[in-house]
Amino acid sequence: MFKDKQLDEKQREAVYTEYTNVEVCAPPGSGKTTVIINRVCHLIEDMKVDPLNIVVITFTKSAAHNMKNRYLAISKYKDKIPFFGTFHSLFYKILLEYKHNINIIEEDYSFKIIKNVLKMYLDCVPRQKIREILNDISMLKNKNSSIDNFKSKTDKSVFIHCFNSYEKYKLKNNLLDFDDIQLQAKKLFINNENILNRYRKIFKYVLVDEFQDCDELQLKLLQLVCLGNSIFAVGDEDQCIYGFRGSNPSYMVGFDKYFSEGKKLFLNLNYRSVKNVVELSKNLIMNNKNRNLKSINANKKFIGKIEFFRFEGEYDEANYISKKIIEIVGSNKYNYRNIAILYRTNIESRNIISNFLKRNIKFKFLNGSYNFFEHFICMDIIDYLNISIMEYDADSFANIINKPYRYISKINIAKVKKYPYRENCFDILSNIRNMPVFQIKKILKLKKIVSRFKKMPLDKVIDTIIYKIGYINYLEKLCKKNNIDIAECENILQEFKMCFEKFNDISEFLEYVKKFSNSIKESIHFDNAVILSSIHGVKGMEFDNVFIINCNEEIIPHVNSIPKSLEEERRLFYVAITRAIDNLYIYSVENICGKPKEASRFLDELFPNK
């Protein structure tokens, strides 16, 4: 076949292997998709396998679509096409034959159910918290463990309430989620051997992309279907970064334990990155123990630029990056879209965006968007600031009047919001008939404090809200009640304070927040723009120039992952490094939110001689 000329020695070995159960360990940029597509062509064209007996499983619709198109581009036989799709789409088709009608719950409804429960416990429900609970629900179902023994990141009683409400809603409305589809498929196979055998006769050859991302349930489904058949699993345990979803590198490391007489083959050439980036990444990942020992070499013989700096703070880091990007684009070799800035957590993007706004550098979030000022803590403080310069802002007033709790009833708050004239909200509330005297005193005291904000130094304004008014007390109770990390909330407060103090007055700051938020909304329309993303969001992607920021202890590795998930944090950093094609910029800072931070321990592994 002419396709054979495109394959290197190790790729060819994988494509033409005669082993039944094969794991192909594919380092970054080693051509795993090329191997899978050529393997499919080999089975059909050389082995004369019926395409309908071949199943190619991916983890995203876009990956499945890409593989199908690449197959069609090189295949001689286009009349019958193998199945290309996700785990969920495959088992959906199977279930549909027996249930005849399957309704999938929409993500918006899932979020709404969890949000409605959380609103009973929280005044403000962050989207991130909803996603965290839905991930935990998925993990619980896939592990098939007891809810009593399951360790959620949320308070146990709150999590159980969320879980029960979610499952009851689906049951009442005859809905399934993607986990239900896989669970019911597994139940169908186990309870009916005839059905299982029927699909074993159909799925003679199963090829799995990104095998390292499989969770326990998906692994079990593969074991059921592939018994007596062939599995061709391609992946890289060094890029297993979804432990919070149930993926486990041990499934690749112990492949022969899960699939009879499993044979491991290794791709060894990185076609993506320049030589020194490949060598640097190897310095890091060799420190992990739960991995396959493999040889990884760069196909490119030239070297790119690797730059490491340690800045005093995040502002200096962002300022330097902005200048560097202007320099890179000014060389006329790269466009803005060839540049990616990667970070461990979304909050780290704030300083970058702020600096980009000053220099008119366009940016774009890779997946969704993140606005620091939409965090519930920021929104609360902004509403305090709003009411200090617009005493008639009823929405802001309604949000903060019971933070901390002042026992103002929802009925009286609604009266303020419905008041037909533009008047001071504090006066409207205090003049409501039958308002208790103790509440009137609290309202007028708060009014007096808030009215002074415009005359205060900006650093004292935030301290007054947090400590004198008592917002910190509200926050501590909220965190304790809902198992929210108080240290993380304190970081949000400190980040907000440091940003706020750079302005001359409250009005100027609020105008900046408006401009900041509008720029994020507008960014979705930009084409030639710098990519901003968490490291998790860029797996499988590549960029000519990669900036990795805030390489500090308690960030990468993350404070919540030390020491229990240190190897996964190292894999995450490895994924970030191996996104770079030509140039790699790794930065650390001495202070974050005004607190001294040590450089990441991973930097010593990257640069052992420095």
Q: What is the dihedral of CA 52, 56, 62, 68, to 10 degrees?
A: -50
Helix 349-359 / helix 506-522 crossing angle, nearest 10 deg:
90
Beta strands in 444-552 (DSSP E): 530-534, 543-548
Amino acid, res. 37? I
Q: Which amino acid is at 195?
A: I
Q: Is 20 annotated as a binding residue?
A: no
In terms of phi and psi (left: phi > 0; alpha: psi -120 to 50; beta: otherwise), the region of 550 is: left
Report the 10 Å Cβ neighbour count for 595.
10
345 carries a ligand binding annotation: no
Tell me whether residue 30 is annotated as binding.
Answer: yes
**Residue 562: CA atoms inside 13 Å, Cβ hemisphere, count?**
11
Distance in Å from the first CA to the final CA of the chain: 49
Question: DSSP for 380-427?
Answer: HHHHHHHHHH-TT-HHHHHHHTTSS-----HHHHHHHHH-SS---HHH
Do residues 39 and 14 touch, judged by C-beta distance below 8 A? Answer: yes
Q: Shortest CA distance to 222 belongs to which of 254, 239, 243, 200? A: 200
Closest CA to 241 of 344, 141, 145: 344
CB 479 within 8 A of CB 489: yes
Q: Does 28 show up as a binding residue in the annotation?
A: yes
Residues in the chain: 610
Measured over all CA atoms, what is the biggest interatomic distance in the chain, rounded to whole angstroms?
A: 89
> Would the annotation count 26 as a binding residue?
yes
Q: Which two tokens stand for residue 1?
A: 């076949």
Q: According to the annotation, is 27 in a ligand binding site?
A: yes
Give the C-alpha separation, 227 to 267, whole Å. 26
DSSP 256-282: HHHSTT-EEEE--EESSS-HHHHHHHH
The backbone torsions φ and ψ at residue 379, rounded to the nearest 5 degrees and listed phi first, read -65, -35
For the four alpha carbons of 161, 163, 165 and 168, in that order, the dihedral sign comes to negative
Query: Is 557 a known ligand-binding residue?
Result: no
Sheet holding 230-235, edge to edge: 83-86, 54-58, 205-208, 230-235, 21-25, 263-266
Rounded (10°) CA dihedral 97, 99, 105, 110:
-120
According to the annotation, is 32 in a ligand binding site?
yes
The two structure tokens encoding residue 190: 């186990």
Q: Specify binding-site residues.
A: 26-33
Q: Specify binding-site residues for ATP.
A: 26-33
